[in-house]
Each structure stands twice: as structure tokens, then as C-alpha cells.
Amino acid sequence: METRRDVVLHVAARAEELGYAAFFLAEGWGHDASVLLAEIAVRTSGIRIGTGVLNVWGRSAASIAMLATSLGEVSGGRFVLGLGAGSPQLAEGLHDVAFRAPAVRLAETTRQVRRLLDGERLLTTVPGRSKPLRLAVRPSSDIPVQLAALGPEAVRVAGELADAWYPFLLPVSGLGEGIRLLEAGVARGRPGRPLPQIRPGLPVALSPDPAVARQLAWWWVSFYLTSMGPLYAQTLRAHGLGEAVDAVLDAGAATADAGLPERAVPLLDELTVWGDATAARQLLDRWYAAGADMPVVVLPPGRALDELDHVLEALRPRSRTRQTTAPPVLVPA
């Protein structure tokens, strides 16, 4: 949703200056994320960069593996590959691909990408006489894979196959149940497989003006529940937040002058990092306490550059060393 290339590049550079662990770039229906990440790779030197995330409907497994290999090389081994099942709107409305069995598609694509990155031949699934290929260029270092997953089976897939789990718009009260599903996926993976790192994506609505912060938090919740498919609402209902979800859906898409239904208020603290700098930091710390290893602060699209700089400053890592506990920054491009 963030279409301003100059803003994306600025945020990446500023995140590195402030000691953030990583900069992730989403891919929706705007820029090709790989092109902007290549530009960011040559403008930065230490911060990890990655996709947060690529949907598995818009590229073949081979094109994803080549993208990852190329960005791994350009960045000097700093690239993280983030994949997700996306939404019906992205699959069907943009890529003209039927949105069927998304968890299966996520698992199959991840396995194929892993095979190619490991130097193995593609495991072909279509009839024909062509010999399966290997990549001509191997990654010079391991490329971690993080999977966006919310539905139970998709979370188990992340546990089985991913290095990191990236749930977006999961309630903080539901993180424990998500970790249990992740552990179930680990159990069906290879023996001795470690638990993937837990990196929940947290929409940020930070402002010194409480009314502005509250309205922006309401926009995040309203937009995703009313415009991005049924999965988010289903997930929140499964975690006992059905009444709040109904309030959002009854109100419809949020506008600048729309009031926040009182029944929907619990979703703000459950899903977003909002308020002034102190309140937002407290909500971020709540995710660490719930079991997150590296919460991802997701910046709002279309905001003024000074506002984004204020967010980065307010949530900057407390230590300037780039530890894994420092949050990454994600721009929803």
C-alpha cells in the first residue's frame, strides 16, 4: 500500500541508523519488492533486509528461489525470504489465480524453494519429458525463510518448514495458542528441528495526539477486517473476539470522521501498537512478555515522512547493538 519509493528508501536507511534488526518490505499491488530491496541492499551495509511477505500466487517456486539467491548475493548474505498465502483479493484480483487450499500452496511452494536453494533439482509435478533443473547460481550463504501464517494448518506448516513465523493481525492473547500450533508443526518436521523464531507483525498507530493515534489504529483494524478477506475475522473469532469483530463489520470501512464503536475498542490493544510513545512502547513490551522473539513494527502507509521518523525514533531499540531482540521495521508496499 506504500507506493512512494523515496519513502521506502528513507525508512530503510533510517532504520539501519537507529539499530533496528531488519527492514522488511511487503509486496501488494504496487512496486515489485525485489527491485526496491536490491536498491536498499546497495544503500545499506548491516541491517538485514527481507520480504515481509511475497504471496505464493504471483511467482513460481523457481522465480522465488532465483529472487532470493540474487538478493542474498547483492546484500552480502543479509536477505530473509518471507512468504505467505496472501488473500483471495491478491490471488484472484491481481494475479488471476484461483485462491484454493492456501495452506497447501504455501507448503508446496516453500518445499520447492527450499529444494532449489539447497542445490537440489526441482520436484516436477506436471507431466512431460523435460529434465528437472537445478539453479545455476547457488546462494553464497543460508537464506532464512519466514512464513506468514494465521490459520491452524498454515501455522503448523510454519512450524514444520520455516525458520521464523510471522503472524500478522494475531491478537496478543492468542499468541500462546499459536505457539502451541507451531510446536505441533515442529513435531512433524525433521528430528531435532528447533522452534522457529516468533515474529508477530504489529500495525503501528503512534502519535502524540491520542485522537490521531486512536483513529489510525481503528483504520488498521477496520481496513483488514473489511477489505482483505475473511481469514482475519475468522482468526479473531476463534480467539474469543467475535463481538468486537461484529462491531467492526457492522460499522464498515473506517473513514476520517467515523467514530470507533465501543465494542471494537478491545481490538486496538490486542492487535496494534498505538497511543503516544510511552503507551506504544508498553504495548510492544507486552508482546515480548507473551512470547515473541522479535516483534515486527509495521508502519502505516501514506503518512508524512516526519510522522514515520517519529515512530522510528519512539520505538528504536534500547540498545544500539543489532540483537535479535531488536524489532524489525516493515513497510506494507
Q: Evaluate if residue 321 carries a pLDDT over 70.
A: no
Are 69 and 143 a contacting pair, CB within 8 Å?
yes
Q: Going by C-beta distance under 8 Å and a sequence separation of 6 or more, which residues neighbour residue 142?
A: none
pLDDT category, 202, cuts 50, 70, 90?
very high
- Look-up of cell digits 501464517: 149
Burial class from Cβ neighbours inside 10 Å (0-12, 13-18, 19+) for residue 100 reads exposed
How far apart, in whole angstroms, are the C-alpha atoms of residue 274 and residue 212?
10
| pLDDT at 92 (0 to 100) | 93
Report, as an integer, the average pLDDT of 280-292. 97
Please indicate, yes or no, if residue 222 is contained in any of the structural domains: no
How far apart, in whole angstroms, are the C-alpha atoms of residue 139 and residue 145?
13
Q: Evaluate if residue 254 carries a pLDDT over 70.
A: no
284: left (phi over 0), alpha (psi -120 to 50) or beta: alpha
Please indicate, yes or no, if residue 226 is contained in any of the structural domains: no
Please indicate, yes or no, if residue 262 is contained in any of the structural domains: no
Radius of gyration for the chain, computed over Cα atoms and rounded to the nearest angstrom = 19
Please indicate, yes or no, if residue 15 is contained in any of the structural domains: yes
Please indicate, yes or no, if residue 236 is contained in any of the structural domains: no
Higher pLDDT, 229 or 272: 272
Q: How many helices (H) and strands (E) does the chain have?
A: 13, 11
How far apart, in whole angstroms, are the C-alpha atoms of residue 333 and residue 272?
18
Q: Evaluate if residue 256 carries a pLDDT over 70.
A: no
Domain that holds residue 145: 5-205+273-331
Q: Which of 318, 332, 330, 333 has its CA nearest to residue 80?
A: 330
Please indicate, yes or no, if residue 260 is contained in any of the structural domains: no
Please indicate, yes or no, if residue 223 is contained in any of the structural domains: no
pLDDT category, 327, cuts 50, 70, 90?
confident
Q: What is the CATH number of the domain that holds 143?
A: 3.20.20.30
Please indicate, yes or no, if residue 192 is contained in any of the structural domains: yes
- Look-up of cell digits 518471507: 82
pLDDT category, 260, cuts 50, 70, 90?
confident
Q: Evaluate if residue 97 carries a pLDDT over 90.
A: yes
Q: Cell numbers of 155, please?
A: 501455522
Q: Mean pLDDT for the chain?
A: 93
Instruction: Count the domains in the chain.
Output: 1
Are 189 and 161 a contacting pair, CB within 8 Å?
yes
Q: Evaluate if residue 232 carries a pLDDT over 90.
A: yes
| pLDDT at 1 (0 to 100) | 85
How much is the pTM? 0.93
CB neighbour burial string for 29-65, b if at least 16 within 10 angstroms, e if fewer: ebbebbebbbebbeebeebbbbbbbbbbbbbebeebb
Q: Which of 13, 7, 17, 9 has its CA nearest to residue 320?
A: 17
| pLDDT at 152 (0 to 100) | 96
| pLDDT at 258 (0 to 100) | 58
